[in-house]
Amino acid sequence: MGAGAVGSTFAYTLAQSGLADEIALIDKNENLVQGQVLDLAHGQPFFPTVTIHAGDPSDYADAQLIVLTAGATQQSGETRLHLLEKNVAVVRAVVSDILKQNSKAVMLVVTNPVDVMTYVAQKLTGWNRERIFGSGTVLDSARLRHMLSVYCGVDVHNVHGYILGEHGDTEFAAWSMSNIAGMQINSYCPVCGRCIDWAGERTRIEQKVRESAYHIIDYKGATSFAIGLTLVRITAAVLRGQRSIFSVSTSLDGEFGIHDVCLSVPCIVSEEGIVRIVESDLPENEQTQLFASAIVLKEAINQLDKDN
């Protein structure tokens, strides 16, 4: 759903992955859909067999996964929360179409501000929280892993770490969950011995992750490649029932002491969607930061309730 920068890059990457049998692209801009579908279809000799076509709401009926990327984007200097009003209208329209089709799909929300849009979509569908979740901070966690990999001089696949909370300005690095070679990152540092100011550097890395989207949007107008890959990785977990752990955005019901707000915490994702929220004991400073994200997101939700 959405054939713009994010939706089309996701479709392109998904087509090459061999994960999907059928990809239907839906967008209110029908010319864009036709162009994207033709352009993708002409690449078919070079990737695994997959049917790619312009879709319509009837495709929701037997979809296994609906990925919502339709909506307004951040302009230079805008925060994700600026998009609230515009994108609630988009989510409302899409959800209405999905419900009419009696869809049994899992739904992955990407449209920003993704935490609030996930919350709104979940309330409007009435689906259980396992089945509808947001891409949350999976992309931000990938950015963190990339930056740590470069800084520590270790293959990114051997660097684990999570950004939690809001996919936005209050997100934070959960350093207690970040590790290299099975060692918490703070314990790895003395063993590695490469850096001279880890405390300062980790603050700089965290800030750089938080500001990444702003910089990319300033440079090229949108983010697309890394989010496309992120979405394919989450799609693999759903289509292949992989039980992968991601920091996706989910509705909390008392976990981490937070109620009735969607934000990112580590979750196990599989065929049915989120099969488990991995609730761990966060150190006090990280728990405080998670609460701070929850407060900001709750305020955004309350603002919406007032306006509607």
List, by residue number, the catalytic residues.
167
Distance of CA 266 to the CA centre of its chain: 12
**Half-sphere exposure in the Cβ direction for 198 (13 Å, CA):** 14
State yes or no: residue 6 binds ligand NAD (CB under 6 A).
yes
State yes or no: residue 4 binds ligand NAD (CB under 6 A).
yes
Query: Quick one: which segment of 1-9, 11-19, 146-154, 186-194 binds ligand NAD (CB under 6 A)?
Result: 1-9
State yes or no: residue 55 binds ligand NAD (CB under 6 A).
no
In DSSP notation, the chain reads: ---SHHHHHHHHHHHHHT--SEEEE--S-HHHHHHHHHHHHTTGGGS---EEEE--GGGGTT-SEEEE--S--PPTT--GGGGHHHHHHHHHHHHHHHHHTT---EEEE-SSSHHHHHHHHHHHH---TTTEEE-TTHHHHHHHHHHHHHHHTS-GGGEE--EEB-SSTT-EE-GGG-EETTEEHHHHHHHH---S-HHHHHHHHHHHHHHHHHHHHHHHSS--HHHHHHHHHHHHHHHTT--EEEEEEEEEESGGG-EEEEEEEEEEEETTEEEEE------HHHHHHHHHHHHHHHHHHHHHHHH-
C-alpha to C-alpha distance for 27 and 24, rounded to whole angstroms:
10
Query: From residue 141 to residue 180, what is the string marking binding to ligand NAD with x (rule CB under 6 A)?
Result: --------------------------x-------------
Nearer to ligand NAD, 98 or 301 (CB): 98
How many residues line the site for ligand NAD (CB under 6 A)? 30
State yes or no: residue 212 binds ligand NAD (CB under 6 A).
no
Contacting residue, 13, 111, 118, 170, with ligand NAD by CB under 6 A: 111
Radius of gyration of the chain (CA): 19
Count other C-beta atoms under 10 Å from residue 150's C-beta: 12
Query: Quick one: which segment of 21-29, 191-199, 203-211, 262-270 binds ligand NAD (CB under 6 A)?
Result: 21-29
Subset of 181-200 contacting ligand NAD (CB under 6 A): none
Q: How far is the CB of 5 from ligand NAD (least distance, A)?
A: 4
State yes or no: residue 135 binds ligand NAD (CB under 6 A).
yes
41: amino acid identity, one letter: A
Query: Quick one: which segment of 28-36, 145-153, 157-165, 235-243 binds ligand NAD (CB under 6 A)?
Result: 28-36
Contacting residue, 112, 247, 270, 293, with ligand NAD by CB under 6 A: 112
User: Which residue number places its CB atom closest to ligand NAD?
Assistant: 4
Query: From residue 71 to residue 100, what is the string marking binding to ligand NAD with x (rule CB under 6 A)?
Result: xxxx--------x---x--x--x-------
Q: How far is the CB of 79 from ligand NAD (least distance, A)?
A: 11
Query: Quick one: which segment of 64-72, 189-197, 199-207, 291-299 binds ligand NAD (CB under 6 A)?
Result: 64-72
Subset of 259-298 contacting ligand NAD (CB under 6 A): none
State yes or no: residue 228 binds ligand NAD (CB under 6 A).
no
Q: Which residues bind ligand NAD (CB under 6 A)?
A: 2-7, 27-29, 32, 69-74, 83, 87, 90, 93, 110-112, 114, 135, 139, 167, 222-223, 227
